[in-house]
Structure 1
Amino acid sequence: MLEYVTRKYGAERVAQIITFSTLSTKSALKDIGRALGIDHNEINELNKHIPVIQGKPIPVSEAMEEIPAIQQYQARYPRLFELALEVESMPRSQSVHACGVLITPEPITNDIALIKGKEGERVASYEGEPLEKLGFIKFDFLGLKNLSVVEICRRLVEKRHGHLIDVDNLIPEDEKTFEMIRRGETDGVFQIESAGMKKMFQGMNKVDFETLIAGVALYRPGPMDYIPKYQSLANGHEEIPSLHPKYDVITRTTFGIMIYQEQVMMVAQQMAGYSPGEADVLRKAVGKKKKEILEPALEELYNRLVEHGTSAQVANKICDDIRPFAGYAFNRSHAAAYAFIAYQTAYLKANYPLEYMTALLQVFYSKTDKVVQYSKVAREMGMEVLPPDINRSDVGFSIDGENTIRYGLGAIKGLGDATFDAIIEGRTTPYLSGQDLIDRVPKKNLNKGSLTALSYSGAFDSFIEGTFNNRFEYMAYLLDIRGDKPDAELVDLIAKYSDRSKFEKERDTLGSYVSGHILSRYAEPVNWDELDEAVTHTMVSLVEAKVIRTKKGQDMAFLKVDTLEGEKSLTLFPSFYGPVKEALVPGMILKVGVKGSMNWQRNQKDFIITSITAPKKINKEIWKKIEQKQEEAFVQGA
């Protein structure tokens, strides 16, 4: 879409739009505390006392006025709070808006400065709201990979079953689909695969399309506070309240709760005599997060409700219900469109699971965490997910048998387009051996690096059985055919072969473990989405440690680790970093205590390490190398 409008209107008239993330109360306190040299544990304790309402911490000024514990901290650190009041809500960082696009009749730089994004994008230096105030039009382009998943799945179903599903005209009444959603089996389903969404639908006695629409609208900061109430009413645990005959009809499908912007407009039109245009103005006011815009609009609504015969008590109740809803109200038409795509994906997963999971892996093959997640889900559904095979793999993930998904050659790191194209083009008949492959594929398309990647990924496993002991021996054999010698690393891998080395090299080439996992003997599965302040203990394998120095001159680290659930990022603060810094070597298996903390600014969970050890028995070989290096350093120092 971006390319299309750029070609149509000219690059000088099209740009993406900037967006600024601002300092929340907790972020302001944390950043200033760090600058003032206040211990981070002290700041974390302070932040625990700040309430979060509708997904947002209350302002510093309110916390200082209303919370005794905060007042005690203020007395101890007056400068911290003085500065926090000044910087709160200031822009903290900038990025490119996910979907906002500016298109102008004249070159944009006639009126607005442009900046260059991280990936070279042309970006307007104003956010959407000021641009609209200046008279420009902001377009939202929403691209969804899930639509590609749906299309690929349709083609796979047509190939295997002989019919093409008309997903655009599905009637959302399939009980098998809704029952799957109610069980919480929604990994890979658009919009409803998060832990919170699963929990919502698992708490429902019955799920239908109306519930799906409501779920899409409710599961976001603000309205999610209504989810327990919505579940209770929908399940019949509470009697649906009757407020006013017209209001009851307007909120009938949402059990007496206002969820959608359209419901606010209908109340205004049917109960307060607003015209459609006036109701739309009210909708926009409700959509703003600014009291100075919302309160006058609600005062006018209250007055007009009373003028048109609604009692003052009911009018007050309606306005009170709208107030916390402001800024987060979702329009039903948007929610329904999203819910229908959610239904399409859920329908395909429930009724054509093999085709759907294959399509999902095809589309998300470059996202390692998704490949790990969806491979695990496929196995739980009774499917096999197998490594690449030189004779059976396509470029992308493919169906290979009645209940089997096969990795594609395109998923192998270090294998370029020209290489796997040449392999598939030369596969007019199956390759009989590695020698046959080398004879048929031009040498320019099959260098030493390509052969290594193919071998370590498992693509040659069918040639190894009964002749060679493992992938590393076979790799040495292939090098010998080409007249090359194995390097020191390969010689070491052959001499000290272990499943661990096999799995690690497989991960290096495929981005994830396929035939086995180095942690499977040591770790239990962890639901990372549900981690909170309670500490969970698990085993992880270190991929990378990024060490930084704090303002106080102390070292800490951000660890990239492998888990049974895929790659995760963990924060290791100075107090825990020092005792284990020697052990932070890639491949080291670590035992960690971890807690989760929601970072609303980045809309993701941060995982904080509360304890960490590197068991010597499990990591015997790695520790041996560390100790050897330490001895060498000692001798040189002496």
Structure 2
Amino acid sequence: MYLNCHTYYSLRFGTFSEHDLLTLAQENRVKQLVLTDVNNTSACLNFVREAPKYDIKPILGIDLRNGVDPCFVGIAKNNKGYQELNEFLSHHLHNNIEIPWQAPMFKNTFVVYPFEKVLLNEKNEFLDNEYIGISIKDLRRLPFSQLKDFRDKLVVQQPVTFRSKRDFNAHRLLRAIDNNVLLSKLDEAEVASEEEKMYSIKSLYQAFSEYPHILENTEKLLDQCSIRFDFSKRRKAQNLKHYTGNKEEDEALLKKLCIQGLPKRYGKEISWTIKRRFLKEMDLIKKKGFVSYFLINWDIISYAKSQGFYYVGRGSGANSIIAYLLYITDVDPIDLDLYFERFINLYRANPPDFDIDFSWRDREAMTQYIFDRFNHVALVGTYVTFKKKGVIRELGKVFGLPKDEIDVLSTGTLLSSKVDSMAKLVLKYGQLIEGMPNYVSVHASGILISEKSLQCFSATFMPPKGFATVHFDMVIAEDVGLFKFDILAQRGLGKIKDTIAIVKQNQPEKADFDIHDVSKFYKNPVINNLIKTAQCMGCFYVESPAMRMLLKKLEVDNYLGLVAASSIIRPGVAKSGMMREYILRHRNPGRAEERAHPVMLDIMPETYGVMVYQEDVIKVAHYFADLTLGEADVLRRGMSGKFRSREEFEKAKDKFRSNCLEKGVPEKTVDEVWDQVASFAGYAFAKGHSASYAVESYQSLFLRAYFPLEYMVAVLNNGGGFYRPEFYVHDARMLGAIIHPPCVNQSHGLNVIYGKHVYLGMMYLRDLEERVMQRILKEREANDKFTSLENFIDRVLISIEQVSILIRINAFRFTGINKHELLWKAHLILGKTKRIDHPKLFPPKRNKFKIPKLDTTHLETAFEEWELLGFPLCNPFEFLQEVPKSKNGQQDLERYLNRRIDIYGYLITIKNTSTYKGDRMYFATLLDLYGEVFDTVLFPPVAAKYSFKGKGIYRFYGKVVSEFGFLSIEVIKMQKQKYVPDPRYADMKTSKKLMKLKEGGTKNQIGLN
């Protein structure tokens, strides 16, 4: 009987979930109802999936509105009608056009016009599929309206938006947030009627008792509607069914491509192990219907290779030999003994994951290719929800709190006794909307390629980048059989690609290496020594302090060790305490046999009986707890968090425990193993995934080892990495580079290298306008380098403010003239000249100025660089007000082992973390006096007394400790050091005198003719 029901996917309007709606219907004995969210279809598929559990027949529709102004409600008779509605809404969302109040000629859709809308537009002719909606509120006016005569066209339209007064309050707050107004100023027209609630069927019938024909018309309409999607375990995949057009050609093509790949990957002699694995995979891929899925991924990477785009294929699909033969991945599953069942098994409904990384510069071109290449394509949606801090900020504005009060309130540190009545309202009502979807966004990487129009499943919207996006997320997509293709962007690949281009330019005689021949890199002692000593700055995934620490503790010096480290560093292993146990077992032969359960050690001998990879969850569940492979995979997927509430996950979890206990495994052991599984699995990598990361890390490490300066330039040009650009500039200097500030004759937008000379790019000059930079580069390319400041000003349209930035950074140092003198020249030339926006045929005549001799100190230059670039190019210790009282550095840590040390450090990065009790502590990485890196830790008692106060130099007093060979300092005392005053502003008398001269007060003193 309910044709117009809203959930909170009626964004900033509705107030509860689709589950809540079904619960509400069940409580009111409603047996069929229509979900009609406002201009949104996010909840539709899950509504259909969940409704049978409540013994409710689901029907789908859309409440089509302009803002809150209703036009009509569309109700799908069937799946074709649902597609019809989705196409209609998508057209209007894509083109940002208003929805007409009158519906088009739908073939499989019922249209219900609100009573008010019909009266307002004086509509008196209706098509067979068109009706007039009457709510309980409208019954008061119906007898006095001519619409009462349209007996066959009247249906019940009692909107459902609220369950209670609480929901109505939440709704008003959402409407105020959406309109960005104070709650007291909210227009009543923006708010739904408080009567938009669900009544029991008995009450509804009673309300319409005088109009039985309205009830009959409504029943008849609902009985004609039926919607169906397959959510069963045996559902068919909805992805593009055939790559070539039919099954036989797909299978033939896949086989052909693999046979071509075998000798390329394994040489002429193909072992039986390889053949057996290949045949086993091929057989299962055919049985599961995943052939086209592999071919589409092959198509994507083939196009990337044709364009010269670098990529890395990872995910569970990296466990596949067929993916290796197709060059989707560069990970050999035979060499690494990758677990076959993590990649695929007969019980698995969804295809393996392929996460394909491209350079951040190439990803959009790849996305565009996929949209152009295939017929039915859309990005996967995701929901951005109201988070606690955001809710407080939004409601703070709605209730009219001042910004400073909102800032304090959002920190959550204010004592309840200090919170005033208005702030209490913010906190109280914030709970009503926290967790609700705020808006639909775009999944970080997912793309759907479907056999049929994606409007069969959802309407689509058009984000700023112009790629259609469905309204639902990846979980619902998988539920209905749509499996995403993951196309991601990362900067590491851009670094590799750019380094190769820079090497060809800077050292062409050494540019004949093959970056993809990674097997040679694995055996290279120079590269492996970089890993062992953690000299990995700028290198993909292995440069962070935590990873650097782990590499040293594990003494990693080979590819397999790096593969393991890539997964051990993940939060789950550390949280379970198994990271430390893994290190202990690695460093102490025999400990694994002593401590590990024999079955666990037998399952995972390579990792000492410790779960490290995602497939270990499947192995443990299958071999330790006797779950089927299908049940084990459900358990593994459930650990991601998305499925924890799912019934099948709970069943698998219960069976894990009961099976172990029935086998006689001690309860304590069962609990320990389960705790490892539960805390670790959601964050773990598949081994093939870790191996893919390790491949890219080795490529990066090769470039850092043999082309360190070119590599650091590429790192900087790709936005750096874990650390600030300043640190990579420092690292380049430590590797032998001569660093120059930007120069109008040598620099480009990005950083460039000539031999060992690195010229910073103009992009670092914070206030230099992009258009000015482009003018400089274009003019220099067209008419050669600039010969003087005057020559530059004559050739480039530029303001005094912009040229001053260039002079202050010493970008005209080729002239040999002090920058203070150049600044005076620029002011005198540009101060009186009217600039025109086109080149001059003849350079203007210049008056000759006699400018007094001015000097610039090294310290002034350093402060200028700091202000303009964000960091100085000198040693930061030169800024200290007092000379360091200790000369200790990183090289002295071993000498002070288990003793106390006094050391100074320039802060690079801090990690704030908490103990399991919630106490704050810090890990900090710093540079010593000599430019070397060292690490410190502030445990809670010390962290309570001392805290880091931004960038700068700190003096530490602490104890040098070693954990598995990794040296760090446990801080006892810490003090931030003072810098010298900025000399540019130290002598204000001089500054005032120069300002007076600039204003022309004493022209003769500066020789003005």
2:382 alignment partner in structure 1: 18
1:396 and 2:760 are equivalent in the alignment: no
What residue in structure 1 maps to residue 514 of structure 2? 166
1:77-105 deviation per Cα after TM superposition (whole angstroms, max 9, x unaligned): 99999878766655577654322234445
Matched, 1:126 2:478: no
| Structure 1 residue 143, shift from structure 2 partner | 1.6
Q: Kindly indicate whether residue 870 of structure 2 is the aligned counterpart of residue 512 of structure 1.
A: yes
Larger radius of gyration: 2
Say which SS state the counterpart of residue 143 (structure 1) adopts.
strand
Match of 1:66 in 2: none
What is aligned with 1:472?
Answer: 823
1:5 aligns with 2:370: yes
What residue in structure 2 maps to residue 99 of structure 1? 445
Alpha-carbon separation, structure 2, partners of 1:314 and 1:531 = 34
Deviates more, 1:311-320 or 1:77-86: 77-86
Give 2:705's aligned residue. Answer: 350
- Taking only aligned residues, the RMSD between alpha carbons, in angstroms, comes to 5.2
Change (3 A) 1:42 1:84: closer
Match in the other structure for 2:539: 189
User: For residues 423-434 of structure 1, what are the structure 2 equivalents within 5 Å?
Assistant: 423-427=780-784, 431-434=786-789
**Equivalent residue number for residue 264 of structure 1:** 617
SS in 1 for 2:616: helix
2:554 corresponds to which residue?
A: 204
1-side partners of 2:878 and 2:463: how far apart? 42
Deviation at 1:405, TM superposition (A): 1.6
Query: Does the aligned pair in 2 maintain the 1:100–1:138 contact within 8 Å?
Result: yes
What CA distance in whole angstroms lies between the structure 2 residues aligned with 1:475 and 1:468? 10
The alpha-carbon distance between structure 1 residues 163 and 233, as it changes in their structure 2 partners (threshold 3 A), is same
What CA distance in whole angstroms lies between the structure 1 residues aligned with 2:821 and 2:875? 17
C-alpha displacement of 1:261? 1.6
Instruction: Name stretches of at least 5 consecutive residues in structure 1 with no aligned partner.
Output: 49-69, 538-564, 566-590, 596-610, 629-638
1:151 to 497, 507, 510: 497
**1:406 aligned onto 2:759:** yes
For residues 382 and 615 of structure 1, the distance between their equivalents in structure 2, rounded to whole angstroms, comes to: 28
1:332 aligns with 2:687: yes
Distance 1:186 1:340, change over 3 A: same
- The 1:31/1:390 distance shift into structure 2, 3 A limit, reads closer
| Distance change (3 Å), C-alpha of 1:512 and 1:621 | closer
SS in 2 for 1:18: strand
Question: Aligned AA for 2:780?
Answer: I
1:234 is aligned to 2:586: yes
Question: 1:622 and 1:90 mapped to 2: Cα distance?
Answer: 54
SS at match of 1:222: helix
Equivalent pairs, count: 517
1:460 aligns with 2:841: no
Q: Look up the equivalent residue of 1:383 and give its one-letter code.
A: A
Q: Is the 8 A contact 2:503 2:510 kept in 1?
A: yes
Q: Of 635, 647, 653, which aligns to 1:282?
A: 635
Which whole-Å CA distance do the structure 2 matches of 1:494 and 1:9 have between them? 69
Instruction: Measure, in 1, the Cα distance between the counterparts of 2:860 and 2:722.
Output: 20
Shift in Å, 1:111: 4.2
Q: Could you give the per-residue CA deviations for residues 288-334 of structure 1, whole angstroms, max 9, x where no partner exists?
A: 46554444213323455577787776555433431222422321111
2:678 is the counterpart of 1:323: yes
CA contact (8 A) 1:17 1:123 kept: yes
Change (3 A) 1:354 1:256: same
Q: Quick one: structure 1 residues 104 and 180, their matched pair in 2 at CA, closer, same or farther if it must change by over 3 Å?
A: same
Taking the aligned partners of 1:452 and 1:81, their CA distance within structure 2 comes to 50
Task: Report the AA paired with residue 518 of structure 2.
Answer: L
Distance 1:280 1:384, change over 3 A: same
C-alpha spacing 1:460/1:358, structure 2 compared with 1 (3 Å) = same
After superposition, residues 32-43 of structure 1 pair within 5 angstroms as none
Q: Does the 8 A contact of 1:259 with 1:329 survive in 2?
A: yes
1:378 equivalent in structure 2: 732
Deviations 1:395-423 (A, max 9, x none): 5322223x332224565633343531331
**SS class of match (2:910):** helix
In structure 1, C-alpha distance between the alignment counterparts of 2:724 and 2:684, rounded to whole Å: 30
Matched-pair contact (CA < 8 Å) for 1:13–1:106: no
Query: 372-381 or 230-239: which moved more?
Result: 230-239
Structure 2 Cα separation of the partners of residues 422 and 215 of structure 1: 50
The alignment status of 1:219 with 2:569, answered yes or no, reads yes
Cα distance, 1:498 vs structure 2: 7.1
Instruction: Describe the SS at the equivalent of 2:638.
Output: helix
Q: Name the residue aligned to 2:486.
A: 140
Residues 491-506 of structure 1 mapped to structure 2, 5 A cutoff: 506=865
CA gap 1:350/1:266 in 2 versus in 1, 3 angstroms: same
Pair 279,222 (structure 1): closer, same or farther in 2 beyond 3 Å: closer
Contact 1:16 1:121 in 2 (8 A): no
Aligned equivalents of 1:174, 1:235: Cα separation in 2:
23
Stretch deviating more after TM superposition (258-267 or 306-315) = 306-315
Instruction: For residue 141 of structure 1, report the CA deviation from its aligned partner.
Output: 1.0
- Partners of 2:748 and 2:413 lie apart in 1 by 55
Three-state SS of the structure 1 residue aligned to 2:502 is helix
2:774 matched residue in structure 1: 417
Q: Flag the 1:505–1:153 CA change in 2: closer, same or farther, 3 A.
A: same
Secondary structure of 1:399's aligned partner: strand
Q: Quote how far apart the aligned CAs of 1:485 are.
A: 10
Q: Which residue identity does 2:732 align to in structure 1?
A: A
Gaps of 5+ in 2: 1-365, 834-841, 882-904, 914-919, 925-932, 934-946, 952-974, 993-1009
Q: Give the whole-Å Cα distance in 2 for the aligned partners of 1:393 and 1:458.
A: 12
Deviates more, 1:220-229 or 1:354-363: 220-229
Determine which of 253, 269, 284 is the counterpart of 2:606. Answer: 253
1:361 corresponds to which of 701, 716, 727: 716
Query: Cα distance 1:472–1:517, how it changes in 2: closer, same or farther (>3 A)?
Result: farther
In structure 1, the residue matched to 2:118 is none
SS at 1:217's partner residue? helix
Distance 1:536 1:318 in 2: 30
- Aligned-pair distance for 1:140? 1.6
Which piece of structure 1 moves more, 337-346 or 97-106? 97-106
Q: Which amino acid aligns with 1:529?
A: I
TM-score for both structures, normalised by structure 2: 0.43
Q: 1:283 to 1:183 in 2, by over 3 A?
A: same
Question: What is the distance in 2 between the residues matched to 1:397 and 1:255?
Answer: 46
* SS of equivalent residue, structure 2 residue 679: helix
Residue of structure 1 equivalent to 2:331: none
